[in-house]
Amino acid sequence: MAEPSTIRDRRIEVLRVNAFTDTPFKGNPAGVVADGDGLSEETMLAIAGELNDISETVFICRPDDAGADLRLRYFTTTMEVDLCGHATVSALFTLGWLGRIRGENEAKTVRVQTNVGVLELGLQFEAGKPSWASMQQLAPQSAPAPGAALAPSILGLPESALSAQFGVACAYTGLWACFVPLRDVSWLSRIQIDSGRIEALWPDNPELSGIYPFAFVDAATTQGRFFSPPKYGIAEDPVTGTACGALGGYLLSQGGMPEGGELIARQGFEMGRGGQVRVSRNENGNMQVRGQAVAIYRGDLLV
């Protein structure tokens, strides 16, 4: 066994944060590395595997782009991904908790370099503490799902489970996902996912991140689940900010966005990790998601 002196060359501050909730042990957990500069991609991937057994870990780094205040990189246990909503919210709250972003009763704007470009993020403070984080995503795009007819069998549901109000289709606000409207929420707990066939929904698009079945709870609220292909190393994600933003884009293309302009997207309840994302379209035409977060632990990682 290595002596302690041989493994304490560098201490890296890390947090585990639950995003899109204000309740510990709910929402979507993210690992957050407060200082990712100088770490190799191999090390980032290894750290992601140690910090988070469910989905992504985010690394806060100095930017390469002069127009950005910082850079965020996101890793699952198997690969780097271009964008991650819940890890972004977790990173923003972490920066507020550590005093690297400060405010009293105001919103602070942060420009962040990601693999899909520089995005404008916001952190709202109340009495000096971070209370809400917002993430601007890209302008929504939509497209038919070539394998739409396969959606029921991939979900392990009968065709009668699908809603006739909207069609199965794909949408993008930073990551492509396929959206499957269900008749009611009860079908969500009956899903028997065939993860190995998810990519058949759009075989020619290697960027398809997963399938998102959902149902309306009321006129302004949906509840859904998100499943990814095996290559991402995430069987089911509890509360997916990027997919919820794309859900807003999908509903805009289908004429189903709430009249008030803000959707409450609930997710993770079938996993016992329920949380919610507030989704809207801002004045420049981009989608935006908002959420809260709570820290679960904070400490040092020895590398």
Positions annotated as catalytic residues are 56
Query: At residue 37, what is the residue type?
Result: D
What number of other Cβ atoms are within 10 A of residue 136's Cβ?
21
The alpha-carbon radius of gyration of the chain (Å, integer) is 19
- State how far Cα 228 lies from the chain centre: 12
Query: At residue 173, what is the residue type?
Result: T
Q: Which long-range contacts (CB under 8 A, 24 or more apart) does 283-287 make?
A: 285/139, 286/136, 286/137, 286/138, 286/139, 286/173, 287/136, 287/137, 287/138, 287/139, 287/140, 287/173, 287/245, 287/246, 287/248, 287/249
- Report the SS3 class of residue 197: helix
Tokens of 37: 């500069």
**Rounded CA separation 247/202 (Å):** 17
CA angle 130, 132, 136 (to 5 degrees): 125
